[in-house]
Amino acid sequence: MNIKNFINDKYVEPISGDWLDNYCPANGEIYGKLPNSSKDDVEEAYKAAKEAFPLWSQTTLDERSRILIRISELLEASLDRFAEAESKDNGKPISLAKSVDIPRAASNFRFFGNAITQFASESHESVGQQAVNYTLRQPLGVVGCISPWNLPLYLFTWKIAPALAAGNCVVAKPSEITPMTAYMLGEICNEAGLPKGVLNIVHGLGKTTGQAIVEHPDIKAISFTGGTTTGAHIAKKAAPMFKKLSLELGGKNPNIIFKDCDYDEMLHTTLRSSFSNQGQICLCGSRIFVEESLYKKFKKDFVEKVKQLKVGHPSEKATDIGALVSKQHLEKVLSYIEIAKKEDNTILCGGNQIIIEGYENGYYMQPTVIEVINDECSINQEEIFGPVVTIMPFKTEEEVLQMANKVKYGLSATLWTNDLRRTMRMTQALQAGIVWVNTWMLRDLRTPFGGVKASGIGREGGFEALRFFTEPKNICIKY
């Protein structure tokens, strides 16, 4: 099946006639094509967005909100169809696509459809000067949204929904590796009555299509989620044009376990925070630190549980771990196992590719636990972004805090303890944009989301996203 670009409410072929192959990670087969879009396609998308902007930016909040909520309802009504497509395109278990990815994409539209009606700006009376100040929050114009492959529709809509709610028109590019559900979204937007040109979706490679969006002189802002190296490259390209940037980048998140935690809940959640979505979530707790007196028990119980996880075809009900997203990515993750061995770490379980009968060319890998001898080894410092976690013991709070913070990333951290004072000390000292205590990935869409250090700049979520997608203008009136 051929995926097409969605420009000015029509599905169109790439101007150049160039196509890319779309692979199914579960069996390694090509099952369709997608446009290898060029600068010219991006220009067409930009023109459509520019033309749509005057009307969309002046559309009442009630009407914008109604359309976004309608998109959300239509997505919910198409849950099965979208979940099947997401699972096939990405390799993730269908159960996950059904319970997390697609419901969350629908929530993104519903949430921002409602949030825009509550988005207030400031006013200040300049007492004694007979003046009043108020702030307008104006949409930016045409904005660019670029998203990765791990949570395809979830992250694509996490950007698009607030951008549209705030009155912008959008040129968006999903990852070339997982284009399917973004393609399907066009139809839903038409059915919901989104005016033509307000959302334009261009498919293609990052280094050409993505870069053309970043380099477009009249695209006012870029909201990007992806790798840290790509983020730095985008920042460099965008800087001379003074583009507004939101960069959500990589993570190497600590999961810190103290002896006084609720053990069973911690064990169950740690299994999830390590291997959900094949470990391909920027928030996964890939570095597990365990208090020394609990370490031996944890190691035994955790490894036992990991060995019971079922790796299988994404469409099978019993599957816990599906396929990795691509052959190249599987090779990259496996290369870290070799590095781990060279650095004298111990593979406690997993570490190999798995061949599944009937799907011999799929990209499957065993969930892997590696005991590391020191926190500074490569596999404890670099983002692997696959079903691989490290474990090591710690003696004191000070020691674990130092190790937790001693990475270039700072996206999230998880802390397991029932000690309130320790919780207060550590949550303040951990270098991360998000800290979970006694839970993981419990998300409230009103809260700010993003990282520090090499995990990015800016925050998404709630009013932070609406602030990013609007320009504040102060008006001062003397009376």
Nearest distance from C-beta of residue 357 to ligand NDP, angstroms: 29
To the nearest 10 degrees (0 to 180), the angle between helices 152-165 and 180-192 is 40
Query: In this chain, which of 87, 225, 269, 278 binds ligand NDP, going by CB under 6 A?
Result: 225
End-to-end alpha carbon distance in the chain:
64
Nearest distance from C-beta of residue 417 to ligand NDP, angstroms: 25
Question: CA-CA distance, 92 to 226, in Å (whole number)?
Answer: 18
Query: In this chain, which of 90, 157, 230, 270 binds ligand NDP, going by CB under 6 A?
Result: 230
Strands 412-416 and 434-437: parallel
168 binds ligand NDP (CB under 6 A): no
Nearest distance from C-beta of residue 319 to ligand NDP, angstroms: 22
Catalytic residue among 248, 383, 460, 464: 248
Residues in 125-164 that interact with ligand NDP by CB under 6 A: 146-150, 155
86 binds ligand NDP (CB under 6 A): no
Name which of 205 and 349 has its Cβ closer to ligand NDP.
205
The separation between CA 224 and the C-alpha centre of its own chain, rounded to angstroms, equals 9
Token couple for 124: 């200040």
Binding mask 367-406 for ligand NDP (x = CB under 6 A): ----------------x-x---------------------
Nearest distance from C-beta of residue 363 to ligand NDP, angstroms: 14
411 binds ligand NDP (CB under 6 A): yes
Nearest distance from C-beta of residue 231 to ligand NDP, angstroms: 7
Catalytic residue among 24, 189, 282, 284: 282
* 3-class state of residue 158 by DSSP: helix
Residues whose CB is less than 8 angstroms from the CB of residue 185 and which lie 6 or more positions away in sequence, other chains included: 6, 75, 153, 156, 157, 201
Question: CA-CA distance, 479 to 476, in Å (whole number)?
Answer: 10
Beta bridge partners of 125: 132
Name which of 314 and 456 has its Cβ closer to ligand NDP.
456
Name which of 157 and 225 has its Cβ closer to ligand NDP.
225
Q: Does the annotation mark 338 as catalytic?
A: no
# of chain residues touching ligand NDP (CB under 6 A): 33
233 binds ligand NDP (CB under 6 A): yes
Nearest distance from C-beta of residue 214 to ligand NDP, angstroms: 5
Query: In this chain, which of 176, 291, 375, 464 binds ligand NDP, going by CB under 6 A?
Result: 176
Token couple for 457: 């700049």
Binding mask 244-263 for ligand NDP (x = CB under 6 A): ----xxxx------------
- Cβ atoms within 10 Å, residue 293: 11
Question: CA-CA distance, 98 to 377, in Å (whole number)?
Answer: 37
Nearest distance from C-beta of residue 294 to ligand NDP, angstroms: 29
Strand ranges (DSSP E) for 184-325? Answer: 199-201, 221-225, 244-248, 254-257, 287-291
Question: CA-CA distance, 163 to 169, in Å (whole number)?
Answer: 7
Q: Where are the alpha helices (DSSP H) in 116-179?
A: 152-165
Strand ranges (DSSP E) for 8-130? Answer: 10-12, 19-24, 29-35, 123-126
CB 466 within 8 A of CB 119: yes
Token couple for 199: 């959302």
* 3-class state of residue 429 by DSSP: helix
Residue nearest to ligand NDP (CB): 206
- From the list 18, 9, 10, 8, the residue with the least C-alpha distance to 43 is 8
Query: In this chain, which of 32, 93, 167, 206 binds ligand NDP, going by CB under 6 A?
Result: 206
Query: In this chain, which of 71, 140, 166, 282 binds ligand NDP, going by CB under 6 A?
Result: 282
234 binds ligand NDP (CB under 6 A): yes
- From the list 415, 432, 442, the residue with the least C-alpha distance to 290 is 415
Strands 5-7 and 412-416: unpaired
Residues in 437-476 that interact with ligand NDP by CB under 6 A: 451, 455-456
Nearest distance from C-beta of residue 404 to ligand NDP, angstroms: 17
Name which of 95 and 455 has its Cβ closer to ligand NDP.
455
Q: Does the annotation mark 191 as catalytic?
A: no
- From the list 372, 368, 419, the residue with the least C-alpha distance to 394 is 372
Name which of 65 and 87 has its Cβ closer to ligand NDP.
87
Residue ranges binding ligand NDP (CB under 6 A): 146-150, 155, 173, 175-177, 205-207, 210-211, 214, 225-227, 230, 233-234, 248-251, 282, 383, 385, 411, 451, 455-456
Active site residues: 248, 282
